[in-house]
């Protein structure tokens, strides 16, 4: 025994300390988070062999049918709107989680003798990290056979030609365009990140084809809130669907090469229709003598208009370019206008039968009492310089002054003007000064705006000055202008580049826009109707796009389409070089492009 204690007694203190470290919670290091393994980046796997009913099932019950999709791990439904049944029922598919499975069921009975596709692409992710299951389409039939035809295509925006994700493509066997307003389609599919769609396992017959951005997910077209595209003629599917056909496979949306390699049968150009019903939707008194009214639809027709208690010649009005917003000024220099003005207007308004009929309406233009009170308090305390002059702005952009000239815009319409008093002069590098010729161009849609356009050639190294003299312009408030002078010089940055387009095949009128890389900003714009050269100078290095619009009605704007009018939006094409719509402009470059518009618009 003595020998035992002498051998093992020295180990007892160490054992006690080790036991305390293991079993005492107070000894844990709470400042260090527990470390796990590598982050899970693998999406859940569908156990295809255990899907119930399985792929290609027939004689599926029309009442209370449900489908079970088992996975290898616990999953959640991330986007329930991406659970899509074609043809779509009245109510969207429902789901429930059962262990590691997603069970999908329907509140409406299915149609008899009908082939269906149930798509769960982009709907399901794993429970922990949210890794998304790429996608799967289950085909089944409530009848004895599976339809075998398919059709593919792409949906693009009508003005930017960018892919539209999440659009719904609708096929109808009914020939009337009214079907897209009233009924759910005979087949449908959603577009992916590339605007691509594949409608599979449909009948071999003729269809009317549409695409909508279905904001309320009812698989019908709502013209007030949604965009639409349509094809002019009926289409017939040309492909027989197989499990190995490339166009019907599921791909990772980040795999650009694979996604772009898919062939398409149809192409849609999605646009927003102009509203068809005409009436006044908004009104606002924005100043003592200023107001505006807004119409629901463009190209409003006004037959007569005046302010109650004032002669009609005291009214100055101006439509915007689309003629759906009207600015109103009272040309009466009384010290103060009434708090409420009554606009008596007769215009063509849509009646209950949908017809445009001349209609009298009284529009009450009242000041907001709070805003009026604040304005009165401010005016009683002090009067600023801007309250006693004809306010205007004058500007010029060095990069566009050759094309657009100087812009002069007054806050209120003018009742007196003296444009011949303007002084436009140049100063050369030797500091020699001389007067330069110019012309005054009133804006076609803004009566307060004028362009002062140099008529001589502007030269590098010169400084140009536009002077607007004192008390030469008077606005409807009776106030005269202050003087100002605007200075501009052509850019001197040697790193800037120039792009020239040599255009041929110009057999129509075209709008040419130079856009930024994202296609959401117009940098320069030209209108051409004959062969020639268009120059884009002073470009910074970067990526650009060139958009051509066929201006069929020659109104200088990109017109939208009409479904019931069977009118497509004006055709838009982007210039493409080396399979890319993006043109790389390096520094200090002079780029020349030859473009045949007749070939581009074929």
Q: Provide the pLDDT for residue 375.
A: 55
pLDDT tens track for 498-521: 999 999 999 999 999 999 999 999
- Pairing assessment for the beta strands 590-596 and 497-504 based on DSSP bridges: parallel
pLDDT tens track for 378-425: 555 566 777 789 999 999 999 999 999 999 999 999 999 999 999 999
Are 93 and 105 contacting, i.e. CB atoms less than 8 angstroms apart?
yes
φ/ψ of 375, rounded to 5, equals -65, -40
Are 517 and 582 contacting, i.e. CB atoms less than 8 angstroms apart?
yes
Q: Which CATH class is domain 387-488?
A: mainly beta
Are 552 and 570 contacting, i.e. CB atoms less than 8 angstroms apart?
yes
Residue 591: beta bridge partners?
499
DSSP 8-state assignment for residue 207 = B
* Separation CA 153–CA 197 (nearest Å): 6
CATH 2.60.40.10 domain residues, the chain = 497-600
CATH 2.60.40.3710 domain residues, the chain = 41-146
* DSSP-derived 3-state class of residue 554: coil
pLDDT surpasses 70 at 429: yes
pLDDT tens track for 288-340: 889 999 999 999 999 999 999 999 899 999 999 899 999 999 998 776 788 99
- Pairing assessment for the beta strands 532-539 and 497-504 based on DSSP bridges: antiparallel
* Separation CA 74–CA 510 (nearest Å): 56
DSSP 8-state assignment for residue 275 = P
Q: Provide the pLDDT for residue 129.
A: 83
* Separation CA 357–CA 188 (nearest Å): 39
DSSP 8-state assignment for residue 420 = G
pLDDT surpasses 90 at 61: yes
Asked: is 41-146 a CATH 3.40.190.10 domain? The reply is no
Tokens of 282: 């908004």
* Torsion angle of the four alpha carbons 211, 217, 222, 226, in this order, in degrees rounded to the nearest 10: -60
* DSSP-derived 3-state class of residue 39: coil
φ/ψ of 230, rounded to 5, equals -150, 160
* Separation CA 178–CA 167 (nearest Å): 19
pLDDT tens track for 550-569: 999 888 888 999 999 999 99
Stated as kind and residue range, the H or E segment containing 3 is helix 2-8
φ/ψ of 18, rounded to 5, equals -65, -40
Are 467 and 422 contacting, i.e. CB atoms less than 8 angstroms apart?
yes
The domain 280-381: what is its CATH number? 2.60.40
* Separation CA 172–CA 518 (nearest Å): 35
Cβ-based neighbour number of residue 443 at 10 Å: 14
Chain length of the chain: 602
Residue 480: beta bridge partners?
474
The DSSP code sequence of 167-193 is -EEEEESS--TTHHHHS--SEEEE--T
Are 234 and 189 contacting, i.e. CB atoms less than 8 angstroms apart?
no
Whole-prediction pTM value?
0.81
CATH 2.60.40.1220 domain residues, the chain = 387-488
Fold of 497-600: Immunoglobulin-like (2.60.40)
What are the strands of the beta sheet with 590-596, ordered from one edge? 532-539, 497-504, 590-596
51 exposure class (CB count in 10 Å sphere: 0-12, 13-18, 19+): middle
* Separation CA 32–CA 277 (nearest Å): 66
Mean of all residue pLDDT scores within the chain? 90
* Separation CA 137–CA 46 (nearest Å): 12
């Amino acid at each position: 025994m003595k020998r035992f204690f002498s051998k093992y007694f020295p180990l007892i203190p160490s054992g006690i300390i080790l036991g305390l470290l293991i079993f005492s919670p107070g000894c844990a290091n709470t400042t260090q988070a527990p470390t796990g393994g590598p982050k899970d980046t693998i999406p859940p796997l569908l156990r295809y062999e255990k899907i119930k009913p399985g792929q290609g099932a027939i004689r599926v019950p029309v009442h209370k049918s449900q489908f079970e999709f088992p996975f290898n791990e616990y999953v959640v439904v991330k986007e329930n709107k991406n659970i899509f049944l074609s043809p779509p029922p009245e109510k969207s598919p429902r789901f429930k989680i059962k262990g590691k499975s997603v069970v999908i069921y329907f509140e409406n009975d299915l149609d008899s003798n009908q082939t269906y596709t149930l798509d769960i692409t982009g709907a399901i992710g794993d429970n922990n990290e949210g890794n998304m299951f790429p996608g799967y389409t289950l085909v089944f039939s409530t009848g004895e056979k599976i339809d075998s035809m398919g059709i593919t295509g792409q949906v693009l925006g009508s003005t930017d030609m960018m892919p539209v994700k999440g659009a719904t493509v609708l096929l109808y066997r009914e020939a009337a365009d009214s079907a897209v307003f009233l009924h759910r389609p005979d087949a449908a599919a959603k577009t992916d990140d590339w605007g691509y769609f594949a409608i599979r396992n449909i009948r071999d017959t003729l269809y009317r084809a549409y695409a909508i951005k279905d904001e309320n997910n009812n698989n019908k077209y709502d013209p007030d809130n949604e965009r639409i595209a349509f094809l002019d003629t009926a289409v017939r599917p040309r492909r027989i669907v197989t499990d190995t056909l490339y166009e019907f496979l599921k791909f990772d949306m980040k795999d650009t090469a694979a996604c772009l390699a898919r062939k398409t049968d149809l192409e849609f150009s999605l646009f927003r229709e102009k509203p068809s019903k005409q009436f006044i939707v908004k009104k606002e008194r924005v100043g003592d003598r200023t107001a505006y009214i807004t119409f629901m639809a463009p190209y409003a027709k006004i037959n007569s208009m005046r302010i109650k208690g004032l002669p009609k010649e005291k009214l100055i009005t101006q439509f915007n370019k689309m003629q759906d917003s009207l600015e109103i000024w009272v040309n009466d220099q009384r010290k103060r206008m009434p708090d409420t003005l009554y606009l008596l207007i007769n215009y063509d308004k849509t009646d209950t039968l949908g017809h445009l009929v001349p209609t009298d309406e009284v529009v009450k233009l009242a000041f907001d009492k709070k805003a009026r009170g604040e304005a009165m308090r401010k005016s009683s305390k002090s009067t600023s310089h801007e309250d006693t002059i004809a306010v205007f702005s004058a500007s010029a952009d060095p990069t566009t002054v050759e094309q657009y000239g100087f812009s002069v815009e007054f806050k209120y319409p003018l009742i007196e003007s003296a444009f011949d008093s303007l002084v436009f002069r140049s100063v050369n590098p030797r500091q020699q000064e001389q007067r330069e010729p110019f012309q005054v161009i009133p804006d076609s849609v803004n009566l307060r705006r004028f362009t002062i356009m140099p008529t001589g050639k502007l030269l590098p190294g010169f400084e140009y000055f536009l002077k607007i003299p004192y008390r030469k312009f008077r606005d409807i408030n009776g106030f005269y202008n202050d003087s100002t002078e605007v200075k501009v010089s052509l850019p001197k940055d040697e790193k800037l580049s120039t792009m020239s387009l040599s255009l041929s095949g110009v057999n129509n009128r075209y709008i040419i826009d130079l856009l930024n890389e994202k296609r959401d900003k117009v940098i320069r714009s030209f209108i051409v109707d004959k062969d020639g050269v268009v120059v884009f100078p002073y470009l910074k290095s970067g990526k650009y796009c060139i958009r051509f619009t066929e201006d069929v009605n020659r109104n200088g704007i990109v017109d939208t389409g009409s479904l019931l009018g069977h009118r497509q939006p004006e055709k838009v094409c982007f210039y493409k070089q080396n399979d890319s719509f993006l043109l790389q402009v390096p520094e200090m470059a002079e780029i020349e492009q030859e473009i045949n518009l007749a070939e581009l618009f074929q």
